[in-house]
Structure 1
């Protein structure tokens, strides 16, 4: 199921990176009852994004780029966000 936060994450990443591949996976069901589960059904996500904009950037720079693109979502509206950012042609 795609909820409002997941859709917003997808939209923001699409606008920021024009990805060649993108997956936004809602992992919340794996964390029911754990710390950070706010009952919204949208508290934990994994983001996989591939974009030319990541070429030549370190892993830390890529994660910062994604966090900036997502604005107030990580840490405020989402408890946990796993980021896998790569340039086209890099191993998954």
Structure 2
């Protein structure tokens, strides 16, 4: 049986490569807003974030997402991203890699 290739993506916050399924996509939409893209298919400029809540806190203090997307990001987005990443990490630890 042929072995399938695992798509890899670079984490915006750490710069490390991870399997695409273990990352969360965030996207800058046409109206210059930044949003979480749980489907991974939304239109716009995308970037990937690892399931590390502490890295999200550091990204907020260093304004990494603003620099990457060249757009102002509201603090409420960071709190939403932190909650989403924390939830997904807990799910992954509880259920394993069932993606």
- Given the two structures, how large is their TM-score scaled by the length of structure 2? 0.34
- Given the two structures, how large is their TM-score scaled by the length of structure 1? 0.35
Greater helix share, structure number? 2
Which has the larger Rg? Answer: 2
